[in-house]
């Protein structure tokens, strides 16, 4: 199994281009199922999760190709299957995103229940509840969600809690419903906005995306169309932390700085100097050790749970004590144990990690447990003295495009070994 070997201690320096956002491209690819024509998607990152989504769509009968610009071309008009099988859903929870589009466009969807995962229980009850409110018949049997509807009907849905893929599934389903759907307490993440903009490009009528109330006026059909995915704010944030943790100077390019406000605030508190342009951000630590920061994760525009693990790594070598509170997922501190193997002083009490910064970490073999946890281990490895070997890096390949190449370009001593 592939591993990453890192020789720590080099302050990173240079520019790194940011790829298309994983959590935007996955719903957009699923959303292509709604179209009556060919859909072309640009800035698709080369990630394992994208490959899984394409395999899933391909099995259903979506024809996939690359055009001359290397954009992905999807032709969903000759769909044969309405099933998302367990073997694919269990490798990628985001497969649940085909549920809404399949049901709305094809009247039927059979999607495996995702089951638990490394960061928490992660039920999909609100996806199901919302689809029922839109008039679908939904049954659970044999580990599968089986949903049917002649045509969905618009309604007002108040989400019990903020869910990103739940909002996306219901927004997609509502585009082809009869009448108006109002989603209250909707997720406001930039990836939800990107999906809405893509759907509008196909002819959907959506308002309010980016606020907590999204209004969707159902239409008869959606056409084909083209769309370029937004840059990945979590990838960008991860490289900025890499700059800060290593005492270096890193510029991320091709980003939307306004999507990173909560993260930039914490980097400033940690003592980083920031320069921000229209589509780039530069972090400069001037060789200093970061100061510990406290933070609490929350739905957007709060501090993203997908950046929590990376800040645990930063606090691990910072001056002072940092309190990191996770409120989105119930079990997202798997990285704490592995960071301790590098010498970090972290105690986890309930949903809070108490991190007493130590002046140095030392290299050790460690194991990745989920995508963002893996990123935090890699960041810690960049500053640990000696050699760190991170095992099970298939988690990283799910969500970071060519991560070792990008880090090596910044001067990190890192390589992939078998």
Piece in contact with ligand EPU (CB under 6 A), picked from 20-28, 284-292, 317-325, 385-393: 20-28
DSSP of 87-141: HHHTT-GGGGGGHHHHHHHHSEEEEE----BTTB----HHHHHHHHHTT-EEEEE
Q: Which of 21, 33, 126, 366 binds ligand EPU (CB under 6 A)?
A: 126
- Range in contact with ligand EPU (rule: CB under 6 A) among 50-58, 156-164, 276-284, 356-364: 156-164
d(CA 21, CA 44): 8
For helices 233-245 and 308-316, give the axis angle rounded to 10 degrees.
0
Window of 39-47, 122-130, 170-178, 339-347 that interacts with ligand EPU by CB under 6 A? 122-130
Q: Which stretch binds ligand EPU (CB under 6 A): 60-68, 119-127, 242-250, 382-390?
A: 119-127
Residues belonging to the active site: 117
Residue spans of beta strands (DSSP E) within 229-329: 249-253, 273-276, 280-284, 295-296, 321-325
Least Å distance, CB 50 to ligand EPU, is: 11
Residue whose pair of structure tokens reads 């004590």 in the numeric block? 321
- Cα–Cα nearest to 336, from 320, 321, 318, 324: 324
CB of 23 or CB of 251, closer to ligand EPU? 23
DSSP code, position 385 = B
Residues from 351 through 410 that contact ligand EPU (CB under 6 A): 371-372, 399
CB of residue 296 to ligand EPU, shortest distance in Å: 14
Binders in 160-199 for ligand EPU, by CB under 6 A: 161, 163-166, 191
CA pair distance 185, 173, nearest whole angstrom: 17
Residues linked to residue 139 through DSSP beta bridges, in sequence order: 146
Interface pick for ligand EPU out of 94, 173, 196, 202 (rule CB under 6 A): 94
Least distance from ligand EPU to the Cβ atom of residue 33, Å: 16
Residue selected from 35, 264, 309, 328 as contacting ligand EPU according to rule CB under 6 A: 328
Residue 216 near residue 172, CB atoms below 8 Å: no
For binding to ligand EPU (CB under 6 A), which residues are involved? 22-23, 26, 93-94, 120-127, 161, 163-166, 191, 305-306, 328-329, 371-372, 399
């Amino acid at each position: 199994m592939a591993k990453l070997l890192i020789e720590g201690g080099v302050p990173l320096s240079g520019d790194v281009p940011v790829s298309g956002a994983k959590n935007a491209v996955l719903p957009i690819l699923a959303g292509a199922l709604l179209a009556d024509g060919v859909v072309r998607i640009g800035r698709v990152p080369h990630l394992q999760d994208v490959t899984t989504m394409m395999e899933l769509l391909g099995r259903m009968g979506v024809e996939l190709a690359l055009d001359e610009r290397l954009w992905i071309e999807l032709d969903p008009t000759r769909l044969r299957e309405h099933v998302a099988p367990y073997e694919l859903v269990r490798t990628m929870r985001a497969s649940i995103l085909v549920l809404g589009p399949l049901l709305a466009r094809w009247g039927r969807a059979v999607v495996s229940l995702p089951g638990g995962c490394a960061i928490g229980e992660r039920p999909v009850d609100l996806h199901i509840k919302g689809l029922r409110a839109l008039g679908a018949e939904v049954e659970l049997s044999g580990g599968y969600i089986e949903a049917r509807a002649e045509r969905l009907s618009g309604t007002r849905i108040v989400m019990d809690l903020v869910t990103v893929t739940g909002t996306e599934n219901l927004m997609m389903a509502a585009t082809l419903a009869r009448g108006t759907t109002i989603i209250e307490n909707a997720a406001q993440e930039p990836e939800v906005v990107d999906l809405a903009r893509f759907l509008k490009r196909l002819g959907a009528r959506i308002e309010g995306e980016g606020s907590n109330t999204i209004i969707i006026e159902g239409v008869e059909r959606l056409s084909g169309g083209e769309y370029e995915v937004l840059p990945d704010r979590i990838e960008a944030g991860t490289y900025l932390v890499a700059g800060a943790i290593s005492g270096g100077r890193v510029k991320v390019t091709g980003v939307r700085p306004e999507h990173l406000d909560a993260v930039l605030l914490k980097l400033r508190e940690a003592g980083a100097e920031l320069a921000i342009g229209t589509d780039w951000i530069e972090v400069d630590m001037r060789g200093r050790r970061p100061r510990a920061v406290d933070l609490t994760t929350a739905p957007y525009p709060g501090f993203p749970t997908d950046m929590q693990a990376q800040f645990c790594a930063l606090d691990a070598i910072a001056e002072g004590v940092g309190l990191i509170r996770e409120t989105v997922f119930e079990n997202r501190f798997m990285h704490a144990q592995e960071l301790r193997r590098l010498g970090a002083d972290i105690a986890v009490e309930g949903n809070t990690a108490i991190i007493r910064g130590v002046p140095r970490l030392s290299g050790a073999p460690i194991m990745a447990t989920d995508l963002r946890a893996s990123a935090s281990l890699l960041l810690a490895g960049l500053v640990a003295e000696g050699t760190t070997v991170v095992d099970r890096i298939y988690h990283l390949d799910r969500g970071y495009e060519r991560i070792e190449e990008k880090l090596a370009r910044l001067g990190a001593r890192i390589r992939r070994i078998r």
